[in-house]
């Protein structure tokens, strides 16, 4: 695979994630959009380090660290969604009117 192809796939992932994060009102779909954007950024990092850096392993280490942070972020995000749903029975972002005040 060439660097150009990997950058195009990464841009598609980031674009799809941005659209998903901005257009959806469900908490789960919002978090899935954020995860797609992070996956595109990880693909950029691995592609640059593997193809432009001649196989330097720092890109792989950075990707493993980002994947660990993504797992923690998803666990905390879903815990927050469950807590919000238990208190206010809201499953969309527009149903949370009381958080504005």
Per-residue model confidence as pLDDT tens digits over 70-97? 899 889 888 888 887 787 777 676 666 6
* Parent domain of 59: 3-89
Q: Tokens for 66?
A: 């980002």
Q: Report pLDDT for 29.
A: 85
Establish if 84 belongs to a structural domain.
yes
**Which residues touch 38 (CB under 8 Å, ≥6 apart)?**
17, 66, 70
Q: Report pLDDT for 96.
A: 63
Structural domain count, the chain: 1
Establish if 52 belongs to a structural domain.
yes
Q: Tokens for 74?
A: 């998803």
Establish if 100 belongs to a structural domain.
no
pTM given for the model: 0.76
CATH of the domain at 44: 1.10.287.3510
Tens digits of per-residue pLDDT, 19-74? 998 988 787 888 889 889 989 988 888 888 888 777 677 777 888 888 898 899 88
Query: Are 33 and 17 in contact, with CB atoms under 8 Å apart?
Result: yes
Establish if 58 belongs to a structural domain.
yes
Establish if 41 belongs to a structural domain.
yes
């Amino acid at each position: 695979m060439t660097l150009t192809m990997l950058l195009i796939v990464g841009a598609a992932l980031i674009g799809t994630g941005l659209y998903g994060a901005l257009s959806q009102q469900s908490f789960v779909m919002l978090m899935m959009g954020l995860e797609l954007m992070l996956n595109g950024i990880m693909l950029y990092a691995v592609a640059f380090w593997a193809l432009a850096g001649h196989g330097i392993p720092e890109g792989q280490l950075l990707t493993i660290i980002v994947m660990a942070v993504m797992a923690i972020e998803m666990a905390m995000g879903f815990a927050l969604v469950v807590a919000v749903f238990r208190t206010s029975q809201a499953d969309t972002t527009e149903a949370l009117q009381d958080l504005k005040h």
